[in-house]
A and B are shown apart, each in its own frame.
Chain A
Amino acid sequence: MPGWLERLKTEFFARRISRQELDEIHDVAVKAAIKDQEVAGLDIITDGELRRDNLIDYFAERLPGVQTDHTSKKFYYDFYDSVVRGKLPMASLRLTDDFKFLATFTDRATKFCVTGPHSLVKRIKDEHYKNEEAFAMDLARVMNMELKELVRAGARDIQIDEPYYSGFPEDINWGVKVVNTLVEAVDAKITLHICYGNRYGKPSWAGNYRYLFPAILEARVHQLSLEFARRGGEDLELFKEFPNRFELGVGTIDVKTHEVETPEIVAERLRKALKFVPAERIRVLPDCGCLHLPREVAFAKLKAMVQGTKIIRKELGG
């Protein structure tokens, strides 16, 4: 996130700029992020999630039936206090405008990212449902409609972000059921992104991905996007141990350090992944979003990722 955008977001909370001004600023920032990704050479473009304060509030504010206390934060990145006090009604989250904006300003393939229900229930206070699973399941029901709206608007590639799985590995069985409800009959390629958190640009949890298995094998998603660059590739062995049909989104860029990888480092990380997953099922990604990196660092890292991928494509004869 550019420092200037961070400061302007906080200016909004200090009531020094208006909502309309902030929206215009976001439009400009997203266009710049799209351009940066294109110049860096990415095949698939996102909006950088620059309109979002954090991974929760953008959804909490839009979810019907969730009440957010707008006086509860002064710094944009903090979380609102939000609560659900009754059964969630079905209504739009109005995310399609963001997707349409993205699609308008790039000719390349796009991906649209949505925070998953498991992560949302960890931050939204529940005063209605009997347990987190029930709350998450109802969120999935409401958000399923939104995903279908996105598909109708043209989205072909949707990513569900569930970083909180790694903090609450004991939830994984019901977490997968919730994801399956969320993506039920959604006609798009679905990626499930599971990292170890990226709050403030640092991990929120430690451990390894063994907790995902075998429950994750039941997930009706096409791709798993996992954090490997920072953590090393030890968990890649799990993909041999548990045969599966998923594409693997291999995190090849460590987004928790400002140190820029060389293309060769990216290539080496991919070579390691290729020992466990065939090339046609590998997708090359950063470990997580680049939100906490200075713009020039994020740009350099993405370029390195692209160049490292080219090295491997060449080695594979592509």
Chain B
Amino acid sequence: MIVHINHVQPDRAALAGSVLSELVSLAGEGQIQPRILENLNVHLDWVQYKTNFRESVTLRRAIKGEELLPWIEVGVDLRQLQPETLKAEFLAALKDGLDGSSCSANRVYLEPFRPMRSCLIWRFNDLFWQHLPLWEAASGKGFEKALPGGTSDANHPEAVADAVADFWTLLKDLDSHNQLPPEIFVLEIGIGTGKRAALWLDRFRVLDRERGTQYYPRIRFLLSDYSMPTLNRAMATVREHRDLGSFLAVDALDPFKSLSFLRYKVLSIHLTNVYDNLPTDEIVVRDGKLYFVEVRSYVPAAAAARISQSFGIPVSEFVRAANRLLEVGPEHVHPSGAERGIAFWREVWDAMRLEERFVAIQSILDAPLPAGVKPGLLENFVGEHVMNQRFQLSSGAVESFLNTVPLLHPRGYLQVQDIFVTKLEDYSRMFRGPGKMDGSIVNWVNGALLAQVGAQAGYDVHFAPFQYREGSRTSILYTTQRE
């Protein structure tokens, strides 16, 4: 058995110690079979999000083609773990790993194994954004309240004022070289409540008047989102600048598809907390060998029984009801009406977990890869020096980036405020997701990979910590033209 201590939270150090001693005693007592013990890797993690898709002890097997490999990994989440149940949970997880039937008895699977990006949790994520007002009415709070601090860093007035000042300076410079376009396009993708856009336009108007430059009437501010409820809400928020704003349904994965008429024309593009909400796949490197992660979502059998009973659904119909929820939406899934349907949605989401397995691959090129990335780049990114690592490919974020930068004017820039892992090695120190943020998904974003992808596309990618709120975990990715 090899124990990997990936993260120890200072106030949980004693717990980490007791986990170790419990594992040693389990091994010493002969409760773990020798053939398992010699293939067993235990990872002590700190799962970033309070609500997530993991149980406190999680077993992962690896396959190569149809063959189940002897190698066994157990993840222990020091955040969720209750010391008194460790032994039982650990042994149960191992038993499940060796005897798939007991695992199946304890879980109601919603789907077969598939690459993480394709799994059902992303359809639940879409459901959340498409039916946001229903969820918020049920929870009694706006979605921003789920963010750390209860508000989006994007709306910080000082941050917005500085962003506006920088943008004005760019316009002035272009103007002085007689290169300022007649229409000044600004794009925000994923507009939240519309508050940042409104703050930005307010501040820009003031600055423009103060400096007498007459740029404000030339602004064409494009507010884009894939959620119509969000667009409608933002429309009200920026009503004072209605003449300058356009509201567009845009898929953040491929903004170029909707906005190709703006190729090389947009001077500023901004996204906040979008990349962390886009589908991703994950890569695992263990002892230098590569795997990609497959998952299948499930609801613990006890929870499925409880939810079924509570909503008057036969347990045997639970999976069908959950899938029907995704097809028809929460208003129509339950015969008693929208209120019950929304409650059902929230309970299923709360109970959903992911079972994981690792699929052995010869090369990173055998994994499901983000579209548009050159193979050589990914080979170099993983490189020969990575021996033990689990990281996100941030597939959706990478595709979004590559499908956004063609909109940039040669002097324009992209700014993305999000939670970035800027160095690959930082993935060793914490399990970075996915987590649940209210009814949506949150993931750390592989900034290190984005930097490489940016270079491939002709942009240097930089990261600046968000300096306007103490304790903020967000940072700002910004691009400059690569020489």
Q: Interface on A for B, CB 8 Å cutoff?
A: 3, 6-7, 10, 75, 79, 123, 169, 196-197, 199-207, 257
Asked if A202 contacts B411 (CB within 8 A), the reply is no
B471 near A: Cβ within 8 Å?
A: no
Q: How many residues of B contact A (CB 8 A)?
A: 21
Contact of B376 among A7, A197, A203 (CB under 8 A): A7
Asked if A206 contacts B410 (CB within 8 A), the reply is yes
B406 near A: Cβ within 8 Å?
A: yes
In the complex, what residues of A have CB within 8 A of residue B376's CB? 3, 6-7, 10
Q: What are 10 A-B pairs with beta-carbon distances under 8 A? A: A6-B374, A75-B455, A123-B483, A197-B410, A200-B457, A202-B264, A206-B179, A206-B181, A206-B264, A207-B178
B482 near A: Cβ within 8 Å?
A: yes
CB contact under 8 A between A201 and B458, given known A6-B376, A79-B483: yes
B434-467, CB under 8 A of A: which get 1 and which 0?
A: 0000000000000000000001111000000000
Asked if B410 contacts A196 (CB within 8 A), the reply is yes
B76-119, CB under 8 A of A: which get 1 and which 0?
A: 00000000000000000000000000000000000000000000
Asked if B483 contacts A203 (CB within 8 A), the reply is no
Report the Cα distance A6→B405, complex, angstroms: 22
Q: Which residue of A lies closest to B267 (CB)?
A: A206
Q: Which residues 397-413 of B sit at the A interface, judged by CB distance below 8 A?
A: 405-406, 409-411
CB contact under 8 A between A200 and B458, given known A3-B374, A206-B409, A207-B179: yes
Q: How far is the CB of B414 from chain A (nearest CB, A)?
A: 13
Q: Which residue of A lies closest to B181 (CB)?
A: A206
B232 near A: Cβ within 8 Å?
A: no
Q: Which residue of A lies closest to B408 (CB)?
A: A202
Contact of B410 among A3, A7, A123, A204 (CB under 8 A): A204
Q: Which residues 162-186 of B sit at the A interface, judged by CB distance below 8 A?
A: 177-179, 181
Report the Cα distance A201→B263, complex, angstroms: 13
In the complex, what residues of A have CB within 8 A of residue B374's CB? 3, 6
In the complex, what residues of A have CB within 8 A of residue B263's CB? 257
Asked if A205 contacts B410 (CB within 8 A), the reply is yes
B481 near A: Cβ within 8 Å?
A: yes
Q: How far is the CB of A121 from chain B (nearest CB, A)?
A: 15
Asked if A202 contacts B406 (CB within 8 A), the reply is yes
Asked if B264 contacts A204 (CB within 8 A), the reply is no
Q: Interface on B for A, CB 8 Å cutoff?
A: 177-179, 181, 263-264, 374-376, 405-406, 409-411, 455-458, 481-483
Report the Cα distance A205→B408, complex, angstroms: 11
Q: Which residue of B lies closest to A204 (CB)?
A: B410
Task: Tell me the interface secondary structure of chain A in the complex.
Answer: loop
The 6 A-B pairs with the shortest beta carbon distances in the complex, nearest first, are A200-B458, A7-B376, A203-B410, A206-B410, A205-B410, A207-B179
Report the Cα distance A207→B178, complex, angstroms: 9
Report the Cα distance A75→B381, complex, angstroms: 13
Q: How far is the CB of A79 from chain B (nearest CB, A)?
A: 6
Q: How far is the CB of B191 from chain A (nearest CB, A)?
A: 26
In the complex, what residues of B have CB within 8 A of residue A204's CB? 410, 481
In the complex, what residues of A have CB within 8 A of residue B177's CB? 169
Report the Cα distance A6→B375, complex, angstroms: 11
Asked if A203 contacts B264 (CB within 8 A), the reply is yes
Report the Cα distance A79→B181, complex, angstroms: 30
In the complex, what residues of B have CB within 8 A of residue A197's CB? 410
Report the Cα distance A257→B264, complex, angstroms: 12
Asked if B482 contacts A200 (CB within 8 A), the reply is yes
Report the Cα distance A173→B410, complex, angstroms: 24
In the complex, what residues of B have CB within 8 A of residue A3's CB? 374-376
Report the Cα distance A200→B482, complex, angstroms: 9
Report the Cα distance A200→B264, complex, angstroms: 13
Q: Which residue of B lies closest to A123 (CB)?
A: B483
In the complex, what residues of B have CB within 8 A of residue A207's CB? 178-179
Q: How far is the CB of A310 from chain B (nearest CB, A)?
A: 29
Q: Which residue of A lies closest to B457 (CB)?
A: A200
In the complex, what residues of A have CB within 8 A of residue B456's CB? 200
Q: Which residue of B lies closest to A206 (CB)?
A: B410
Asked if B181 contacts A202 (CB within 8 A), the reply is no
Q: How far is the CB of A125 from chain B (nearest CB, A)?
A: 13
In the complex, what residues of A have CB within 8 A of residue B179's CB? 205-207
Q: Which residue of A lies closest to B375 (CB)?
A: A3
Report the Cα distance A199→B410, complex, angstroms: 11
Q: How far is the CB of B44 from chain A (nearest CB, A)?
A: 37
Report the Cα distance A200→B483, complex, angstroms: 9
Q: Which residue of B lies closest to A207 (CB)?
A: B179
In the complex, what residues of A have CB within 8 A of residue B455's CB? 75
Q: Which residue of B lies closest to A122 (CB)?
A: B483
Report the Cα distance A303→B304, complex, angstroms: 61
Of B263, B375, B457, the most chain A CB neighbours within 10 A belong to: B263
In the complex, what residues of B have CB within 8 A of residue A7's CB? 376
Report the Cα distance A201→B456, complex, angstroms: 10
Q: Which residue of B lies closest to A7 (CB)?
A: B376
Q: How far is the CB of A186 from chain B (nearest CB, A)?
A: 30
In the complex, what residues of A have CB within 8 A of residue B410's CB? 196-197, 202-206
Asked if B409 contacts A199 (CB within 8 A), the reply is no
Q: Which residue of A lies closest to B482 (CB)?
A: A200
Q: How far is the CB of B25 from chain A (nearest CB, A)?
A: 49
Q: Which residue of B lies closest to A259 (CB)?
A: B260
Q: How far is the CB of B274 from chain A (nearest CB, A)?
A: 22
Report the Cα distance A202→B459, complex, angstroms: 11
Q: How far is the CB of A127 from chain B (nearest CB, A)?
A: 19
Report the Cα distance A7→B374, complex, angstroms: 10
Report the Cα distance A169→B405, complex, angstroms: 25
In the complex, what residues of A have CB within 8 A of residue B406's CB? 202
Q: How far is the CB of A81 from chain B (nearest CB, A)?
A: 11
Report the Cα distance A202→B375, complex, angstroms: 21
Report the Cα distance A7→B264, complex, angstroms: 28
Asked if B409 contacts A202 (CB within 8 A), the reply is no
Asked if A202 contacts B458 (CB within 8 A), the reply is yes
Of B405, B456, B481, the most chain A CB neighbours within 10 A belong to: B481
In the complex, what residues of B have CB within 8 A of residue A169's CB? 177
CB contact under 8 A between A199 and B411, given known A3-B374, A10-B376: no
Q: Which residue of A lies closest to B406 (CB)?
A: A202
Asked if A199 contacts B458 (CB within 8 A), the reply is yes
Q: Which residue of A lies closest to B380 (CB)?
A: A10
Q: How far is the CB of B392 from chain A (nearest CB, A)?
A: 24
Q: How far is the CB of A282 from chain B (nearest CB, A)?
A: 26
In the complex, what residues of A have CB within 8 A of residue B181's CB? 206
Q: How far is the CB of B480 from chain A (nearest CB, A)?
A: 12
Asked if B411 contacts A206 (CB within 8 A), the reply is yes
Q: How far is the CB of B450 from chain A (nearest CB, A)?
A: 16
In the complex, what residues of A have CB within 8 A of residue B409's CB? 206
Report the Cα distance A202→B409, complex, angstroms: 10
In the complex, what residues of B have CB within 8 A of residue A206's CB? 179, 181, 264, 409-411
Report the Cα distance A3→B378, complex, angstroms: 14
Q: Which residue of B lies closest to A8 (CB)?
A: B376
Q: How far is the CB of B373 from chain A (nearest CB, A)?
A: 12
Q: How far is the CB of A83 from chain B (nearest CB, A)?
A: 15
List 16 extra interface pairs beyond A199-B482, A206-B179, CB under 8 A.
A3-B374, A6-B376, A7-B376, A75-B455, A79-B483, A169-B177, A200-B456, A200-B458, A202-B458, A203-B264, A203-B410, A204-B410, A206-B409, A206-B411, A207-B178, A257-B263
Q: Which residue of A lies closest to B174 (CB)?
A: A206
Report the Cα distance A197→B481, complex, angstroms: 12
